Homo-oligomer: A and B are copies of this chain.
Amino acid sequence: MTNKGVLIIISGPSGSGKGTIVEKLKNNKNYALSISATTREPREYEKEGVHYFFKSKNDFKNMINNDELLEWAEFCGNFYGTPKEYVSKKINEGFNLVLEIDVQGAAKVKDIFTDAVTVFVIPPDKMELKKRLLGRGTEDENTINKRLKRACEEVELIPKYDYVVINDSIDNAVKDIESIVKVSKMCAKRYIHKINDFK
């Protein structure tokens, strides 16, 4: 029991830097990233079982019907979902499994994996958020303002999560998440078996 990994769900508004944090966590050999199933066509560089599990629409619908997905959603005509089996397997192997997902998905996953730990990543303040969204340099001001408004609204989701990580530096944010995982492993319910060891 104690050797099982932790399922860590990471959400956050656009500009919070959650994607970069998740990328960095990949460098820790005790961490694994969840791999989604999708019905969209693989891109040239994408490998089955590495970037995605590529499925036909029929297979995907079967996965839904057989309750094999923790959550799923349709986006631009394609289906995306989180296979339950992969998550269970990695956790049982001792990996801390990282799942980057939105608030609805997070709630669904936590219903099934009640020990999952949910983390909401936010930028340090509104100014910094705007700077990051502007820094991308790929969108006009109107689009940026819309994204900024939405990101600020999303901060209201804080109470839905277990923890908040303020991403003022990527390295600190990664360390914070590693600390959350370390401490989650000290939860009393993971040590019930110790009672017998002392009998």
Q: Please tell me the size bucket of the interface on A.
A: 35 or more
* Least Cβ–Cβ distance between A112 and chain B, in angstroms: 21
Q: When chains A and B are docked, how far (Å) is the Cα of A104 from the Cα of B133?
A: 52
Are the C-beta atoms of B183 and A126 separated by less than 8 Å? no
Measured between beta carbons, the chain B residues less than 8 angstroms from A198 are: 122, 125-126, 129, 151-152, 155
Contact of A186 among B163, B187, B189, B197 (CB under 8 A): B163
Q: Which one of A27-35, A37-45, A57-65, A174-182 contacts B?
A: A174-182
Say yes or no for A73: interface residue by CB 8 A criterion: no
Are the C-beta atoms of A159 and B188 separated by less than 8 Å? yes
Q: A residues engaging B (CB < 8 A)?
A: 120, 122, 125-126, 129, 151-152, 155-156, 158-166, 176, 179-180, 182-183, 186-192, 194-195, 197-199
Are the C-beta atoms of A122 and B194 separated by less than 8 Å? yes
Measured between beta carbons, the chain B residues less than 8 angstroms from A176 are: 186
Given known contacts A120-B188, A161-B188, A188-B164, A183 and B179 CB-to-CB distance under 8 angstroms: yes
Are the C-beta atoms of B158 and A192 separated by less than 8 Å? yes
> Which residue on chain B has the smallest CB distance to residue A193?
B158
